[in-house]
């Protein structure tokens, strides 16, 4: 099977709007293309349909899509939420959970436009600090976040341990020792 070539950047006008329930499938499938386990083998959060539906259900105001005009193809999305913490300096924080732009629309300022729309909504609702995180080796994402005004505030270390499934022989001996 021949490998797919990335589509060329298209000269389409894009509109950013509130995500609607009918957009969930398109957003999920675009995220599947962007957040692959091959590219991010130990991503601490997994992209799945629950990531989209949970945020859409709990904080729909912070879920937006970018669609082409006039055909309405979803070519980008941003998903965020707010976190309230009493006793902290800001009390209400914004959290940028996911941002994704179709490869053929990357480097067209669409990600920046999506982010600005999210920031505008968060600010309107009393948020004064926005948090985003990414893998320390995801240089394109880090450059993007820095370009829109984020700074490195701290390093996080995520430790990963893969738990191997027991083979059938060990499993049988373990279960027989439990019954004796």
Q: Which domains does the chain have, with CATH numbers?
A: 13-179 (3.40.630.30)
Structure tokens at 154: 């701290």
**What pLDDT score does 130 carry?**
95
> Tens-digit pLDDT profile for the chain (180 aa)?
444 445 544 567 999 999 999 999 999 999 999 987 676 655 556 788 888 999 999 999 999 999 999 999 999 999 999 999 887 777 899 999 999 999 999 999 999 999 999 999 999 999 999 999 887 778 899 999 999 999 876 666 666 677 888 876 655 555 555 555
Which of 66, 135, 63 is CA-nearest to residue 106?
66
Helix (H) or strand (E) holding 132: strand 129-132
Residue with tokens 């709990």: 58
CB 98 within 8 Å of CB 76: no
- What does the pLDDT read at residue 180? 52
Say if residues 32 and 93 touch (Cβ distance below 8 Å).
no
pTM of the model: 0.78
- C-alpha torsion angle, residues 140, 110, 145, 33 (rounded to 10): -50
Which residues, listed in sequence order, are joined to residue 15 by a DSSP beta bridge? 67
Do residues 128 and 117 make contact, with C-beta atoms less than 8 angstroms apart? Answer: no
Closest to 135 in 3D by CA, of 54, 41, 32, 52: 41
pLDDT for 179: 54
Q: What angle do CA 65, 69, 72 make, to 5 degrees?
A: 55
């Amino acid at each position: 099977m021949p490998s797919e070539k990335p589509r060329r950047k298209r000269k389409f006008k894009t509109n950013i709007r509130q995500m609607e329930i009918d957009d969930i499938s398109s957003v999920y499938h675009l995220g599947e293309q962007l957040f692959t386990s091959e590219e991010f083998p130990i991503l601490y959060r997994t992209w799945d349909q629950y990531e989209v539906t949970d945020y859409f259900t709990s904080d729909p105001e912070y879920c937006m899509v970018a669609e082409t005009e006039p055909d309405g193809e979803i070519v980008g999305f941003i998903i965020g939420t707010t976190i309230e913490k009493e006793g902290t300096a800001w009390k209400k924080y914004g959290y940028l959970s996911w941002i994704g732009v179709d490869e053929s629309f990357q480097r067209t300022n669409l990600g920046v436009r999506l982010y600005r729309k999210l920031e505008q909504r968060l600010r309107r609702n009393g948020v004064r600090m926005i948090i985003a995180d990414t893998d320390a080796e995801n240089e394109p994402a880090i450059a993007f976040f820095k370009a829109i005004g984020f700074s490195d505030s701290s390093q996080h270390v995520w430790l990963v341990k893969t738990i191997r499934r027991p083979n059938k022989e060990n499993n049988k001996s373990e279960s027989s020792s439990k019954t004796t």
